[in-house]
């Protein structure tokens, strides 16, 4: 089970999120700034327990959705899947390897998304430590990094299912 790097990455990200959630519970004020408008100023609020619950549910929910996509892909009719050259990749001799690859790719996306959520939680905690909660530039760096990851992951995913003709 733990010999699969994608699974280790995913499970590690999940563990880190919940360790960070536990830490954040002791750092956040009773009233938490949860939304930030133009200029990074807080314009939405929630009580601490509601915020922490929502964060935990978001991590679990997105992990289940993204991880579930990879798991369910092998159980769905091939015609339901939108994958480049899907008929080639789901031929009987390639099907098991393709299903395992899809599961791993989706676990990597889920793990990266968990780390993005962890970063969002962290910048939110930092913002709430200020007398007037204000979201700093760290949010934009985090957002840009996640978008760059998603773009790179998408290109690699799509290119990985090309079919090259034999030489």
Handedness of CA 81, 84, 85, 91 (dihedral sign): negative
pTM, to two decimals = 0.92
Lowest mean pLDDT among 31-45, 73-87, 96-110: 73-87
Mean pLDDT of 149-165: 92
Q: How confident is the model at residue 1 (pLDDT cuts 50, 70, 90)?
A: low
- Residue-wise burial string across 10-26, b where 16 or more C-beta atoms lie within 10 A, e elsewhere: bbebbeebeebbeebee
Handedness of CA 86, 13, 1, 67 (dihedral sign): negative
The residue extents of the domains of the chain are 5-23+38-159
Q: How confident is the model at residue 38 (pLDDT cuts 50, 70, 90)?
A: confident
pLDDT in tens, 116-139: 999 999 999 999 999 999 998 999
């Amino acid at each position: 089970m733990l010999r699969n790097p994608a699974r280790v990455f995913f499970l590690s990200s999940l563990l880190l999120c919940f360790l960070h959630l536990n830490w954040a519970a002791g750092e956040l004020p009773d009233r938490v700034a949860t939304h930030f408008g133009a200029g990074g100023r807080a314009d939405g609020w929630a009580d601490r327990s509601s915020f922490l619950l929502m964060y935990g549910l978001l991590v679990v929910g997105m992990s289940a959705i993204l991880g579930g996509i990879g798991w369910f892909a092998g159980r769905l009719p091939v015609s339901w899947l939108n994958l480049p050259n899907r008929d080639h990749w789901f031929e009987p001799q390639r099907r098991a390897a393709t299903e395992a690859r899809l599961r791993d790719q989706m676990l990597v996306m889920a793990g990266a998304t968990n780390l993005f959520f962890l970063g969002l939680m962290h910048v939110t905690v930092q913002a709430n430590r200020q007398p007037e909660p204000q979201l700093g530039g760290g949010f934009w760096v985090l957002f840009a990094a996640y978008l760059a990851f998603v773009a790179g992951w998408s290109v690699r995913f799509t290119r990985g299912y090309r079919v090259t003709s034999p030489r």
